[in-house]
Chains A and B, each alone.
Chain A
Amino acid sequence: MKLILTTMMLLWCLIGIAQQKTVSGTVTSKDLQAPLSGVTVKGAQQTVITDRNGSFIVQANLGEMLIFTYVGMKPDTVTVTANEMPIAVALEYALGDLAEIVVTGYQTQKKADLTGAVSVVKMEDIKSVRVGNPVKSLQGRIPGVDITTNGDPGGGATVRIRGTGTLGNNDPLYVIDGIPTKRGLQEINQDDIESIQVLKDASSASIYGSRSANGVIIVTTKKAKKGVSRIDVNASSTLQYYTSAIDMLNTDQRGEAYWRASVNDGINPNNNQIYQYDWNNDFNNPILKQVILPEFVDAAKTMKPANTNWYDEISQTSVIQNYNVSLTNGGEKGNTFFSLGYLQNKGIVRETQAKKVNARLNTDFNFFDGRLKVGENLNATYANNVLIPTGDVLFTALVQQRIVPVHTVDGGWGGPSAGMTDRHNPVRLIEDNKQNKNYFARIIGNAFADLTIIPNLHFRTSIGADYNSTYARTLQKSYVSGFLVDDANLVQNNQDYDGNLLWQNQLNYTLDLNKNHVDFLLGHESIKFVDQGFFGSRQGYALENIDYSYLDVGTSNINNGGSGSANSLLSYFAKANYSYDSKYLASATIRRDGSSRFGSDNQYGTFPAFSVGWRMSQEEFMKKIPIISDLKLRFSYGHTGNQEIGNYDTYDLYRAIYGTDHVFDRDGGTAYDIEGNDTGTLPSGFVKIQRGNNSLKWETTKEANYGIDFGLFEQRLSGTVEYFVKNTSDILIRPGYLAAIGEGGFQTFNGASMQNKGFEALLTYENEINDELSFSISGNISKYINKVTELPSTVLTAYPGNGTDQVILGHAITSTFGYVADGLFKSQEEVDNSPAQPGKGLGRIRYRDLNGDNVINDRDQAYINDGVPDFVYGLNLNVRWKNFDFSVFFQGMQGIDVSNTYKTFTDFASLWPGSNWGTRTMEAWSPQNTGSTIPALTLNNNNDEGRTSTYFMENGSYLKLRNLQIGYNLKDTFKSIKISNARIFVQGLNLFTIKSKNFTAPDPENPGNGYPLPVMGTIGVDLSF
């Protein structure tokens, strides 16, 4: 501003009184309807730059052309006329995104000026992909960001930026309107999001210091802009289909498989509790004539044999409904954005449901001619989820035998009887839990004040809060279900809350001197986290009705518990960005973080970073090459940290643990009936719960990033290629320990070091054929390799290996250690001539004698799978023709082996003897079916075939059609009623998957019995008034 005024005055003095006039005006962005600063206004005699408000004043002659240019926008030209009115110019974005304003840590920068690896999500691309968590819709769209999701209606997503960076918590840091959180975006309404940026390299992330080693995802929500008043409404409805059920045996087939297993073992198959067989009784040439079902499955004669398809019983085609309304109002003195969103997601597992209401209010007010801006961002979320134990439901649907009916003859619950696994009837699990819900609320927001002390010097202070609270009241009903019985009911109430308060202060100063542009930032941040919870429970309820089931009316076993913890962070940071003539770019950052989690010796960690960039395309010699519209070389280096350990890991701690849950685990209690009373309150002691480590320090990641951004043909073709080397050292880890140490032997160490190296590339081609037809096609690919580079002996046992000659050093951290399955024994000769292998036999898995000692034992293990894909990729196509829009998005992963744990159920009769088995067992090896690769059925797992081996490692490569969307905008039809936008659309999600034949379960994305990913079809409408 000052610069401009000075320039103006100089001009005023120097230039005479020709036919000149003073021209003033403002430049705005046509799309954003917001002022554009930094636009070059070039006249014949004078060139000026627009100020913060987009205003300019320039001396020009009548009839002269003023040229407005701005990086990344289409230039505009205006002829100076005698008209005294200020000139209003609205610039349009050019192809490409160089002018895009990118939110980096505590600041914004133009994309063209960036020197770190920052990916910007095109919100346009994920518009209308509303699946309950904005992160889910980013899957595959950003190179270097791997997202895995499942179909759970309330579920989150797992995000990995540039590979597995550490052990333990690999989740990135989210920064929502300046508030850092590790809690994902599932409570943020996607339609409230203005932009999402991913800070991938250390130089851009290190401003977030100790919590940034896994990368940072910055989310900025919508704000109203001056002069814009609008109402947006959208609604959509989605149908979800369960398409990935595992093929399990029906009742007769299960009988046949048992018969085959028994005959293979040389045991009379009629020695069993369920099936009888009519067969030729010849073990050498067995022929089954008929499987005979009993009249009743159970001795008490309550269950008739059924053929229950448990997957059909527990699943449903379900509906997601989503409604959003937002109001935007911008004025001279203040701006308001308000939105309300409602999402109801019924899952494909019956009775599962998540309901979510979001409200957002973002406001800001200007005082003292805009020198003081005060505002707030506030998001409140309320959700309730039906607490169906979906993991158990899906597991029991898999393992429950189909001969079990859903109900007994008199309407009670069917369930396992003799000869069956002691697992529940999944339908009962659903029906007996559907009354149980949790109620969740989260408030995340901040209030801020931004004061312009002198022009270009800002002080900003902000107080933020991010709290969430969960309340649940659950009724466990009594039941009889086969031989599983619980005659006691129980009601439990839980109340938990956790969250943090933060205070941020920062000073920003911008300096423009000739062609030099400098931004300074100095800041402070203080965050306090708390986490508290308690529960109460009682038994002895007269009615098993959720309306009755409050704690007060329980009559026995009054029980309660509670706990809490806290931690805090105190940080100082500084950053400077420098650019010379938009050509030479540099940036430096330093952050110093103190954390309550570390001991006094190492409480503070310092995280420096720098980056440089050269926009070659701005050089004169490059400007001569017309096809190159942009070319930038970048390098960055920085340190980031990780502090994801327990709050008190530096301390040696003991705890009074009266008793622990010992249903499946060892009791770890400290109370004892020393007086032999058999009942009543017991004396109780203390037990060690962890070993402290006072020398714990920050885990540090040092990362170098090399990047090229380029644009060709006036940015029609643009792209980015990044290469990074990321070394993580002093990895915080809690290894398993020598059992002789006793309870509480866990100790956190700074342990191994590892390296991730990789590249990412993004290429976009976009073109406007004419006003009616435009398209863009964009592809991304990324690859990384991971290896452990250093391994102190204190943490060696935390990783797969044998602790001595087979250690993970040099292997990927995600490696699997196990046996090599070398096909099946197909002849007695093969069996006889093979190394000693307890349990070997015809049709059994042959394990490879890796150490050549002619004995198969634990020394014959190796690293059999690195768990790292060769590459992952995404491909997006958008076409716009008249009022139609069309987009299609593919995502894939190539060259990865996954452990298909379903195989223990689908391929064996011996590993889960009382459960149902997969239809694959019908094709198992037998002397009559020697071509099979599935081991012979047996009831006796003498060969220990469930051991970790390559038998379970399968090619998990896939290509999925994630999204297909067609929209039509009716705005022309409704022009008369002031509707500026009226788009209707249909879309399909997860429409098809191409996977390797080698992968034997339905979905390589879900090899471990997670909540299945549904196929979804949506119709919706977006309106703007």
Chain B
Amino acid sequence: MMGVSCKNELDLKPQGVVSSDDLNSPENIEKMIISAYSALGNESIVTPNSLWPWGSLRSGDALKGGDGLGDNSGWNDYEQFVTNRPNNTYTDQMWAQLYNGIARANDALARVNTLDETQFSDKVTRQAELRFLRANWYFMLKILYNRVPYIDENDDKDDYIAIANDEYTSDELWTMIAGEFKFAADNLPENQTEIGRVNKYIALAALAKTQLYQAYKQDDNHNVTSIDQSLLQQVIANCDEVIAGGKYGLADDLAENFLTEFENGKESIFAIQYSKGDGTRYGRIDMGHSLSYTLNPEFGCCGFHIPSQDMVNAFKTADNGLPLFDSYNNGDAVQGDDFLKYSFDPRLEHTVAIPGHPFKYSPDYIFAVSWTRAPATYGAFASLKDMVPPNDPSFQRIPPFMSSSKNWELIRYADVLLWKAEALIELGREDEALPLINQLRTRAANSTGRLKKADGTFSSTFKIATYQPGVNCEWTNAYARQALRYERRMELAMEGNRFFDLVRWGIADTYINNYLTTESAKKAYLKTAHFQKNRDEYLPIPLNQINYSLGLYKQNPGY
């Protein structure tokens, strides 16, 4: 009667999955590498890989937007600073998102390491790619959280619980990240057949960026104490190599960086390759910017990521075509013809959607206050660089949201020029920086072709000039530094860098509190906001992670 005890009744193979051992063939390892790359685009509507909620929102460039203060209130807490608490869920989600990428890179890397080059001829290249990707995520973690646990492919997952976030100093972390980019730069080919793979120049650019951040030495309370001259020289050398490589350059028109049809153009050094019509329901699209879209019938949601009045005013230029460094906030340009009363840097109309002006280079498609969600609170601007018009082939609805498969450039050539210029200025070689900055101003001046209204006129008065020492300025070191920092804001506005620049330069507290004083007179909700020096330079370590680490992770100062 009991003759049924077939033991293998209990041995059931898992269905629809693979084991770790199944993935060690060269073909499957290549797929594990793709999986690591795909993490570049894996993001949610609240954790954009462009970093705008941290880089633009906290910098005075952008306001949260949305329905009101409580709509994605975690972002409101970033904007208010004082209420940014360690339990902010976005802070935790972003942390996890970045470590997900790192884990994918580590997993693939551990497998690549086991093969020898006779089995896997691309071994070193792939190692370099993976180490680049991993370092890219550590870089993001570093500028967001400062002290983070550093884990590589040799650490066993069971031991992660013993890897503290204060195992390495801030400077040691920079050195390790730079070391990874250096390995990548030394071992990657100049060209890869697939455009989405990283190459030598991308690694050099990332290395230069890392060294620039590392050059500004910070103490434990985030005060910038000195600037490392030799690192600055390495920044210049690495930028020079990218420039000299000739593979990349400035696009003819700034607009090309933000238009689908020019994806992977010559200015695009490192971009997230988004896609649609790719076999997924809504495409692997740019979800990180999906909340930027507006409430006009062609879109429908959600009106976040709003340029501040300060940001818009900053595009004003003086009669000599140079920025109004200190007085740009004298008089607000809000909508329509306001923009004819002052003169502006043309980059304004590439960056900001303005009521009464054409939307995104479409002369007949006029942006209006009615497109905006909460103009009384956040004003009636919108962010342009991240949006595409509804008839763009890359536009994709993902109800109730929408976005596009347009690539997002994480590193563009303009940024490389500005890093080099910054290093030169900090080395006292401001004269060499001048032509670099002027290159961008010249390109900006030439980027008005798409900005015309249907009648051939412009909605704003454009006036921009290059810096001409002795003619329209005195190109002193201090002036050059001011010009460089201003130029970065104009060129890279709303692209998610600004806050990190301010922290790098050690001016975040004064700059942001000044901004808050001015902007809160127009946006009453900012009256309660205040940047707390020696705390708000970095996010808190997420409370969840401190708890999950059983108290091993140490909280950042001030939280």
Contact = CB atoms under 8 A, between A and B. Distances in A.
Interface of A: 265-268, 270-273, 299-300, 417-422, 459, 480, 483-488, 503, 505, 507, 524, 526, 528, 537, 557, 559, 563-570, 572, 594-596, 603, 647-648, 651-656, 658-659, 661-689, 691, 736-743, 745, 793, 796-797, 801-804, 838-839, 857-858, 910-914, 939-944, 947
What 8 pairs between A and B have smallest CB-CB spacing? Answer: A742-B103, A685-B35, A299-B370, A913-B68, A271-B376, A659-B280, A739-B96, A803-B547
A940 B525 contact: yes
Contacts of A659: 278-281, 284
Given A572-B2, A664-B44, A678-B275, A486 B397 contact: yes
A682 B69 contact: no
B87 A667 contact: no
Nearest to A505: B1
A962 B45 CA distance: 46
A265 B524 contact: yes
A688 B103 contact: yes
A719 to B, nearest CB: 42
Nearest to B67: A914
Interface in B438-462: none
A81 to B, nearest CB: 50
A524 B41 CA distance: 53
Contacts of B33: 685
Contacts of B474: none
Contacts of A681: 278-279
B287 A691 contact: no
A767 B197 CA distance: 86
Contacts of B36: 685
B163 A740 contact: yes
B549 interface: yes
Interface stretch (B295-303, B309-317, B489-497): B295-303
A265 B160 CA distance: 46
6 contacts: A265-B525, A672-B196, A676-B407, A688-B103, A741-B99, A745-B103
Contact of B281 (A559, A570, A689): A559
Nearest to B163: A740
Contact of A739 (B17, B20, B99, B300): B99
Most chain B C-beta atoms within 10 Å of own C-beta, residue among A595, A654, A857, A912: A654
B246 interface: no
B251 to A, nearest CB: 16
Nearest to B275: A673
A564 B15 contact: yes
A484 B281 CA distance: 19
A396 to B, nearest CB: 12
Contacts of A801: 547
Nearest to B34: A685
Q: Is the interface of A mostly helix, strand, loop or mixed?
A: loop
B160 A740 contact: yes
B277 A680 contact: yes
Interface in B38-73: 38, 40-45, 47, 67-71, 73
Contacts of B32: 685-686
B244 interface: no
B375 interface: yes
Contact of A524 (B4, B399, B401): B4
Most chain B C-beta atoms within 10 Å of own C-beta, residue among A565, A681, A797, A941: A941
Nearest to B103: A742
B70 A913 contact: yes
A673 B196 contact: yes
B374 A793 contact: no
A480 B547 contact: no
B31 interface: yes
B146 to A, nearest CB: 16
Contacts of A661: 281
A567 to B, nearest CB: 6
A654 B19 contact: yes
Given A557-B281, A942-B80, A741 B275 contact: no
Given A656-B31, A686-B35, 14 more contacts: A418-B375, A422-B302, A483-B300, A596-B12, A603-B10, A663-B399, A670-B38, A672-B35, A689-B17, A738-B549, A739-B96, A796-B550, A797-B547, A797-B548
Interface size, B (range): 35 or more
B376 A669 contact: no
A505 B11 CA distance: 22
Most chain A C-beta atoms within 10 Å of own C-beta, residue among B163, B275, B551: B275
Most chain A C-beta atoms within 10 Å of own C-beta, residue among B23, B37, B47, B368: B37
Interface of B: 1-2, 4-5, 9-12, 14-20, 22-23, 28, 31-38, 40-45, 47, 67-71, 73, 76-77, 80, 82-83, 85-87, 92-93, 95-97, 99-100, 102-104, 106-107, 149, 151, 157, 160-161, 163, 194-197, 260, 263-264, 273-282, 284, 287, 295, 297, 299-302, 368-370, 372-377, 394, 397-401, 405, 407, 524-525, 527-528, 542-551, 559
A485 B550 CA distance: 46
B284 A673 contact: yes
B273 A910 contact: no
B44 A678 contact: no
A853 to B, nearest CB: 14
B23 A273 contact: no
A483 B17 contact: no
Given A272-B376, A595-B10, A685-B38, A678 B263 contact: yes
Contacts of B273: 672-674, 676, 678
Contacts of A270: 376
A740 B149 contact: yes
A941 B70 contact: yes
Contacts of B527: 266
A417 B67 CA distance: 10
Given A564-B16, A679-B275, A524 B528 contact: no
B194 A674 contact: yes
Contacts of B370: 299-300, 418
Contacts of B38: 669-672, 684-685
A653 B19 contact: yes
A839 B81 CA distance: 11
A589 B462 CA distance: 90
B15 A563 contact: yes
Contact of B82 (A483, A594, A743, A942): A942
Given A267-B525, A485-B300, A679 B71 contact: no
A910 B1 contact: no
A738 B160 CA distance: 8
A570 B5 contact: yes
Contact of B103 (A651, A672, A743): A743
B11 A596 contact: yes
Nearest to A657: B35
A480 to B, nearest CB: 7
B71 A913 contact: yes
A566 B11 CA distance: 10
B10 A568 contact: yes
A944 B376 CA distance: 23
A485 B297 contact: yes
A564 B14 CA distance: 9
Contact of B104 (A265, A480, A595, A743): A743
B275 A739 contact: no
B275 A667 contact: no
A680 B103 contact: no
A671 B284 contact: yes
Contacts of B10: 568-570, 594-596, 603
A547 to B, nearest CB: 24
B123 to A, nearest CB: 17
A419 B374 contact: yes
Contacts of A485: 297, 299-300, 397, 399
A673 B287 contact: no
Nearest to B545: A739
A114 B256 CA distance: 83
B14 A742 contact: no
Contacts of B97: 666
Contacts of A688: 20, 103, 107
